[in-house]
Structure 1
Amino acid sequence: MISYATTPTDVSRLRFAFAPLGEAVASLRMMRSDVRRRAHLPWLRQVGPKVRHADLRPLRALVPPTGYVPDFLTPGDSLGYGDLDTDLEAVRETPPERLVAEVTWMMSDPGVPPGWHRATGPVHRWMVEHPERALQVVADQLATYCGLALRPYWKRMHASMRADVHHRMRVMEKSGADAVLSSLSRHIVWRNEHLTVRSNYDFEARLDGRGMVLVPSIFCGPEVLTMLPPDQSMVVYPQPDASRLWAASEGADANPLAALIGSVRAEILETLHQPRSTSDLAAEIGVTPGAVSQHLTVLRRAGLVNNRRAGRRVLYTRTPSGESLVHGARYGGDAVLV
């Protein structure tokens, strides 16, 4: 288990951020798991052929299927900017001695499969012997991979993660930090000022007023990833229902709901698995608030969504009929409207 011992100051300094390169690393790991791949098949169908033709061998050698991934690949200094170029520049500026230390640790990590150690050993030894060159190669390959696999989808991904953060911040405003920390993942327990993450590693970090960063992730699920001192303490949690992000990406032919009611209205219904405002939907789907409002009016008149006021905000949710329609389109069979 990994345990973070907090103080009231740490809780008061709790904040959310985004980690673009963390998503790149998590997606590379996800590709190696047949179970985890299932949630991202529409994305993989588009990205897979492009990635297969790119030489990413040194980069892939740093992302084992399980175990430690060198921390320099997920720089913490740029957290909050949500910008791939900022993260890539931080990787290029990694001190060579840090690469040597972290790759050396990975080479002896018992959490990494033995077969992986044997297959990647020559690449790791080359990195340790030539760290400056290795940093340049890895940063270039990260940039290539991000260009193929993340940049075309980052606006949508960032909007989805931002909506998740906005939802949790509203929970925090209403019910406090305890409610947020207790609901991040089934692999996380918040009790007696300790945040404990299920892990094959044993470590207790004392934050001592330095605070903690919570980072939503599309690709990490069901894992919870951590970063420990002396780096910024960070917990990367899986965004709920992240697979819904790709629901509309295969087009109307692959999405019966889009063929029935139109791609934007289908995407709105898919997104309303939890309450959203018009501005939330606009940010997450990538259309104007005015257009979202018009589509919501049609969906409400059709009995597929409801709205309610929450303070100054108007939140929309699916009705039972909307739930039935989405479920029937996603899983097949008869969707009975009630």
Structure 2
Amino acid sequence: MRMLASAERRRRYQPWADDVRAKLRSTDLLLLRALIPPAGYVPDFLTPPPDGTGPRKIAEELEMVRATPGERFVAEVSWMAADPGTPPTWRQEAVSLHRHLLAQPAQALARVTEQLHTYWTLALEPHWRQLYGGLQSDIRSRMKVIESSGAAPVFSSLHPRIAWRQQELTVRSAYDYQEDLGGRGIVLVPSVFCRPEVLTMTPPQQSMIVYPGPGVEGVWNRHASDRPSPLAALLGSVRSAVLEALMVPASTGDLAEAIHVTPGAISQHIAVLRDCDLVTSRRHGRRVIHSLTETGEALVAGVVASGAGRFSA
């Protein structure tokens, strides 16, 4: 939303940005916009950090926002409203909305969550498989570097504003903050939209750095090819659809619902794809989550990059 508000920044994402702005013109996102200034602090409760248990569904993410304690909501909105890094003109225009948010935090949270869901549905959901696939590729490549060379090269390559020296991680920022993490770790989050910024979340929340994911803007080619998918010609329509759907890890039931075949059929196709080292499966609670292997990801990424995949934007 911050990127869309900037004519200079959104040029990188056209024509997607033009399409989304047209959809949002008649949509009530007033309270949500009042929490996202053009610059400066954005309340942390809007961005729940990953917890290491695997991908969460959007409904789970939204429920985490809705469940924000009232006192935390008030503290973070108050901080944002007084942040000197937020443009004064924007603060003046939003002051009545901020008073409304602070006066009724429970009702405000419910409404903000609804508006987040609306924004997701209009702007991101139609493109999420391509976006997630590109971000997952970045995570995989950095994990390889960690396994072979340790964490230092990964931190040093994230962004020019990020440096790692003598066990100290430094992020150049307008804010002055220092913390000993004490072994609590830090979550690295590649982002499609944050360029050119680097965003941070600090204790008492889970420490997090959001950095621009490389090459992700290339997914905004909205002119999908009319050619049949090469994957379908190679593997058949259902197996190619399974692979493309697994750009986001999913359960058997999720895949059956998305592709409109029975769970039994999905299980049979997953077994074949697993034998070919294109898919891997792991149990997560009561569900089995399937995801692409490195080979499967490379295969699907090549098709999507060519504009021939069924999920092309």
Report if TM-score (shorter chain) is over 0.5.
yes
For 1:57, the equivalent position in structure 2 comes to 30
CA 1:162–1:263 in 2, change beyond 3 Å: closer, same or farther? farther
**Structure 1 residue ranges without an equivalent (≥5):** 1-27, 253-258, 266-279, 291-311, 317-325, 327-338
Do residues 237 (structure 1) and 174 (structure 2) align?
no
* Conserved? CA contact 2:191–2:213, under 8 Å: yes
2:106 corresponds to which letter in structure 1? E
* Conserved? CA contact 2:186–2:207, under 8 Å: yes
- How does the TM-score come out when normalised to structure 1? 0.67
For 2:140, the equivalent position in structure 1 comes to 166
For 1:34, the equivalent position in structure 2 comes to 7
Q: Deviations over 1:162-212 (max 9, x none)?
A: 111111111212222111111011111111111111211110121001011
Measure, in 2, the Cα distance between the counterparts of 1:201 and 1:140.
Answer: 31
CA 1:58–1:313 in 2, change beyond 3 Å: closer, same or farther? closer
Q: Deviations over 1:111-141 (max 9, x none)?
A: 0000010000000011111111111110111
Measure, in 1, the Cα distance between the counterparts of 2:15 and 2:214.
Answer: 18
Q: Deviations over 1:225-275 (max 9, x none)?
A: 10000000000110012211213x2335xxxxxx9xx6968xxxxxxxxxx
Q: In the TM superposition, what is the alpha-carbon distance from 1:35 to its structure 2 partner?
A: 2.0
* Conserved? CA contact 1:163–1:284, under 8 Å: no
Q: In the TM superposition, what is the alpha-carbon distance from 1:42 to its structure 2 partner?
A: 2.5
For 2:289, the equivalent position in structure 1 comes to none
For 2:59, the equivalent position in structure 1 comes to 85
For 2:79, the equivalent position in structure 1 comes to 105
Q: Deviations over 1:75-109 (max 9, x none)?
A: 23656424211110001101111111111111110
* Conserved? CA contact 1:78–1:87, under 8 Å: no
- How does the TM-score come out when normalised to structure 2? 0.72
Measure, in 1, the Cα distance between the counterparts of 2:244 and 2:67.
Answer: 37
Measure, in 2, the Cα distance between the counterparts of 1:144 and 1:91.
Answer: 14
Do residues 138 (structure 1) and 112 (structure 2) align?
yes
Aligned length: 249
* Conserved? CA contact 1:78–1:86, under 8 Å: no
Measure, in 1, the Cα distance between the counterparts of 2:160 and 2:97.
Answer: 36
Q: In the TM superposition, what is the alpha-carbon distance from 1:152 to its structure 2 partner?
A: 1.2
Measure, in 2, the Cα distance between the counterparts of 1:242 and 1:156.
Answer: 9
For 1:74, the equivalent position in structure 2 comes to 47
Q: How many percent of aligned residue pairs carry the same amino acid? A: 47
Measure, in 2, the Cα distance between the counterparts of 1:90 and 1:105.
Answer: 20
CA 1:264–1:134 in 2, change beyond 3 Å: closer, same or farther? same
Kindly report structure 1 stretches of 4+ aligned residues shifted beyond 2 Å: 76-83, 249-252, 262-265, 280-286, 312-316
Measure, in 2, the Cα distance between the counterparts of 1:101 and 1:76.
Answer: 19
